[in-house]
Structure 1
């Protein structure tokens, strides 16, 4: 897939703040890993201490998804998640802008590669289905050291970040498909490609259905069912989590979800949500609770996020 061409229009003064941001990310990615993680923890402490609208989103999500926790335990999980957001910032920088040498030094282990190899032996494409965890960009790059993958993404609002990040991703990915490029994605899967995909955000799409997520009706896109069917692909759960301290990351490929795609799109979508929920329960503080996962509500049900809903 060709890397995006540079346009002189990106040098316009209105883009200078974005270029400054890209420069900061590059500098952060050059830090030695102990300093990088220390910076992430410091940013996380700041995120935890200062009130923000995103804290209120995380509080609403966690209260809804973990009703079995008492208020103090819910508050502790919110704080742990906000601290994790600081690590997410530096992990994004490393995943996007880190050198190959820096990535190779990140401790990690991959489990379950045999499931991917079995699908490939059948000549099938593979959908690696996971969730929006704080380290998703870094772990996508880590797994690309062992297997060739492509990804789906949503175009960024900033033209500068879109250019810089897409070029960075294409340094390690086979291809990056925009979320609406169904034809290109299906063609890639039919050719036996492996595609990383996370269907766990509220996209406010006409192709969404309400299925349970932590027992709550959640608007969920049905694309996993359709991509697997049209691309003749196996659906393989892909989970990653950060280990305590500086021990690195575990990346796990699960057994393919049997009989998916099936004949019922709601059933398939609910199965995918249940799979992602199981991942979240293993490392709840590392999930992206600051996203308004339940922004779209079933008819007649009130919004969950106040005026920001």
Structure 2
């Protein structure tokens, strides 16, 4: 069932030119093609088998990815200081398993049929989105960078046309495959510079997926606590909501503990949002992230330098570490 009116103009954004895949046949792309072929083959297996393979690969990644393991350990220590050293290390190991599972999920996002994904995804709270769209101003679906991020965005397309705001992947082959996968499944990708297109989609009553939780340092940024830690944060959500009049609905996808599917929870629109204080509004968003992290800690993106900012870098190596 689609929640977007048939009278709507549908998602709008400038389409990047389709890049022929033969341009990516050079030797520099061969390792990636081999990896993609492996992922595509694994995607043919039942989900629980894919996730079991992903967990095994995650163990290997945890063993050999020293840099990312160190970043994740620092983040967990900063955000969840109540954990013992043993608990922290166990969480980081589980996180690497979740990261590896996300690789196969990305393959499903690109290549799996709607029919297959409908069997894997359970929605809760779709009535909140339906009610929000009934007002005709679209909806900002506010989420964060968990390892289920790609699956969560793809899940929304099962409900109707959806726009997502994204950063272009640095690898051109991944960028092209992402673009093709989204275009195949009624997802309109909007680059982070296309604010006018985002606002136009909301005006056309199209829901927009928005994950503004990563490190941000431009004019629409401020230091806002996350887990009690100062974090350079994007505070533009308030401004977008105020300009568009669109309701802001938190939503979070989660991987089921039995690895047989996903639950996508859509929450009611935030009340009294936006306020006149964008920093306070961003703090409310951070509190939602914190709550979801505590429920599914391994699924959060820990291997990312979230707390690096001008004048402070908790990830900088100490002299003792270099000895």
What TM-score do the two structures reach when normalised by structure 2?
0.87
| 2:185 equivalent to 1:172 | yes
What TM-score do the two structures reach when normalised by structure 1?
0.91
Tell me: CA distance 1:306–1:186, structure 2 relative to 1, closer, same or farther (3 Å).
same
Q: Is the 8 A contact 2:47 2:260 kept in 1?
A: no
1:117 equivalent in structure 2: 130
Q: Deviations over 1:40-84 (max 9, x none)?
A: 121122123335100000000000001122222222211221222
Q: Deviations over 1:159-209 (max 9, x none)?
A: 221111111012223411001111111111122110111111113333211
User: What SS does structure 2 have at the residue aligned with 1:295?
Assistant: coil
Q: Is the 8 A contact 1:47 1:85 kept in 2?
A: no
Q: Deviations over 1:252-279 (max 9, x none)?
A: 1111111212211111111111122212
| 2:238 equivalent to 1:225 | yes
| 2:253 equivalent to 1:240 | yes
Q: Is the 8 A contact 1:3 1:167 kept in 2?
A: no
Alpha-carbon distance in 2 for matches of 1:11, 1:87: 27
**Unaligned ranges ≥5, structure 2:** 1-11, 319-323
Alpha-carbon distance in 1 for matches of 2:34, 2:215: 30
Tell me: CA distance 1:19–1:205, structure 2 relative to 1, closer, same or farther (3 Å).
farther
1:249 equivalent in structure 2: 262
What is the root-mean-square deviation of aligned Cα atoms in Å? 2.1
1:54 to 68, 72, 77: 68
**Unaligned ranges ≥5, structure 1:** none
2:94 to 80, 86, 90: 80
Alpha-carbon distance in 2 for matches of 1:118, 1:102: 27
Alpha-carbon distance in 2 for matches of 1:281, 1:95: 26
Alpha-carbon distance in 1 for matches of 2:74, 2:194: 33
Residues 1-309 of structure 1 mapped to structure 2, 5 A cutoff: 2=15, 4-7=17-20, 9-106=23-120, 108-297=121-310, 299=311, 302-307=312-317
